[in-house]
Structure 1
Amino acid sequence: MNSNIPLILFTVLTNAAAQLMLKRGMTTGVGNLDVANDGLISTVFRVVFNPFVFAGLCTFVISMASHLIVLSKVQISYAYPFLSLAYVVVAVYAYFVFQEDLSPARIAGIGFIVLGTIFIAQS
């Protein structure tokens, strides 16, 4: 196994975690945005200082830092496709936690993503 796989997977998982925190913050803490009535500055502060959104943004910074480390070690054509696994993690989590739809087409797409990532990992 490539010794960089754990760091690549850490990048994938932190990327997915950031997305999920942002979703939680925007749906449970912030709600619908009305910039026209609330004002741009007020809206930005309300969004950024929501605990889940703030944690999601911080997690994105960690994810990007680990991705930069990965890029310093492996070819981008090898590392970048692994980020598609974040979609798999997010889709499965969203299905079970947010009760979002996971249609047969999405399931097939997830299968192709996983299969493609396996092929890339073997190269």
Structure 2
Amino acid sequence: MGYLYIIGTIIFTVYGQLVLKWQVDQAGSLPGALWEKLVFLLQLLLNPWIISGFLSAFLAALCWMAAMTKFNISFAYPFMSLSFVLVFLLSAVLFGDPVTIHKVVGLALVVAGLVVTSQSM
């Protein structure tokens, strides 16, 4: 069951990041004037998708707390790096974010670190 809590943490984290990026992209650039910035950000905060992203972050935190009851943090925390990998891959597919050799090598190193760390339990 502990691994399901970690998976829940990752899924909710990735969902929240992707939804926030999607909605911020749709809203456009941050205005220059202070008052316009405040109105812009308030409109974003009232957006149901943005609210779902914040709710997702809250659910991720609940899953993480549950995972902490099952695992040492030194074992569980490296699994959070999977969220980096998933956000990278999904942002490339969904938003057309660039995929460079440097990013791929960096993510491969993150995954290698996860594999090494998970073997040390």
TM over 0.5: same fold?
A: yes
Give the corresponding residue for 2:10. Answer: 12
Mapped to 1, the partners of 2:47 and 2:28 lie a distance apart of 11
- Kept in 2, the 8 Å contact 1:12–1:85? The answer is yes
Report the secondary structure of 2:18's partner residue: helix
Question: Within the alignment, does 1:50 sit opposite 2:47 as a pair?
Answer: yes
Give the corresponding residue for 1:91. Answer: 88
Give the corresponding residue for 1:105. Answer: 102
Counterpart of 1:70, as a letter, is A
TM-superposed CA distance for 1:4, in Å, is: 2.1
Report the secondary structure of 2:69's partner residue: helix
Segments of 5+ residues of structure 1 without an aligned counterpart are none
How many residues align structurally? 119
Mapped to 2, the partners of 1:63 and 1:99 lie a distance apart of 26
Question: Within the alignment, does 1:116 sit opposite 2:109 as a pair?
Answer: no
Q: Normalization by structure 2: what TM-score?
A: 0.88
TM-superposed CA distance for 1:72, in Å, is: 2.1
Counterpart of 1:11, as a letter, is T
Report the secondary structure of 1:79's partner residue: helix
CA RMSD of aligned residues (A): 1.6
Counterpart of 1:67, as a letter, is W
Give the corresponding residue for 2:60. Answer: 63
Mapped to 2, the partners of 1:118 and 1:39 lie a distance apart of 43
- Kept in 1, the 8 Å contact 2:19–2:50? The answer is yes
Question: Within the alignment, does 1:80 sit opposite 2:45 as a pair?
Answer: no
TM-superposed CA distance for 1:52, in Å, is: 2.0
Segments of 5+ residues of structure 2 without an aligned counterpart are none
Q: Deviations over 1:73-115 (max 9, x none)?
A: 2111111111111010000001111000110011011111112
Mapped to 2, the partners of 1:39 and 1:14 lie a distance apart of 28
Counterpart of 1:87, as a letter, is F
Q: Deviations over 1:47-68 (max 9, x none)?
A: 1112221111110000011011
Mapped to 1, the partners of 2:95 and 2:72 lie a distance apart of 35
Q: Normalization by structure 1: what TM-score?
A: 0.87
